[in-house]
Amino acid sequence: MSLAILTYILGGLTFGSALMVVLAPHPVRSVLYLILTFFFISGNYILLNAQFVAVVNIIVYAGAIMVLFLFVLMLLNLSKENEPKTKNVAKFAAVVASGILAVVLIAATKDTMILQSGYQTSDNAQGLVEGLGQLLFTKYVLPFEISSVLFLSAMVGAVLLAKREKQITNEL
Partner 1 sequence: MDTGLIIEKSLLVLAVFGITLLIATYLTYFERKVAAWLQDRIGPDRAGPFGILQPLADAGKMFFKEDFIPRNADKWLFILGPGIAMFTALMTGAVIPWGPNIEAFGRSISLQIADINIGILFIMGVLSIGVYGIMIGGWASNNKYSLFGAIRASSQMISYELAMGISVITIVMMTGSLSLRDIVDGQHGSFGMGWNVFYQPVCFLVFFITALAETNRAPFDLPECESELIGGYHTEYGSMKLGFFLFAEYINMFISSAVIAALFFGGYNFPGMDAFSGNTLAILGTLAFFGKIVFFIFVFMWIRWTLPRFRFDQLMHLGWKSLIPISLINLLITGLVIAFNEGWF
Site for partner 1, rule CB under 8 A: 28-29, 32, 35, 51-52, 55-56, 58-59, 62-64, 67-68, 70-71, 74-75, 128-129
Three-state secondary structure of the chain: CHHHHHHHHHHHHHHHHHHHHHHCCCHHHHHHHHHHHHHHHHHHHHHCCCHHHHHHHHHHHHHHHHHHHHHHHHHCCCCCCCCCCCCHHHHHHHHHHHHHHHHHHHHHHCCCCCCCCCCCCCCCCCCCHHHHHHHHHCCCHHHHHHHHHHHHHHHHHHHHHHCCCCCCCCCC
Cβ at position 64, least distance to partner 1 in Å: 6
Compare residues 74 and 103 and give the one whose CB is closer to partner 1.
74
Ramachandran angles phi, psi of 24, nearest 5°: -60, 140
Compare residues 105 and 129 and give the one whose CB is closer to partner 1.
129
Cβ at position 93, least distance to partner 1 in Å: 32
Compare residues 75 and 142 and give the one whose CB is closer to partner 1.
75
Cβ at position 160, least distance to partner 1 in Å: 16
Compare residues 99 and 133 and give the one whose CB is closer to partner 1.
133
CA–CA distance, 163 with 71 (Å, rounded to integer): 21
Compare residues 41 and 62 and give the one whose CB is closer to partner 1.
62
Cβ at position 133, least distance to partner 1 in Å: 11
What value, to the nearest 5°, has the Cα angle with vertex 65 and ends 61 and 70?
120
Cβ at position 143, least distance to partner 1 in Å: 22
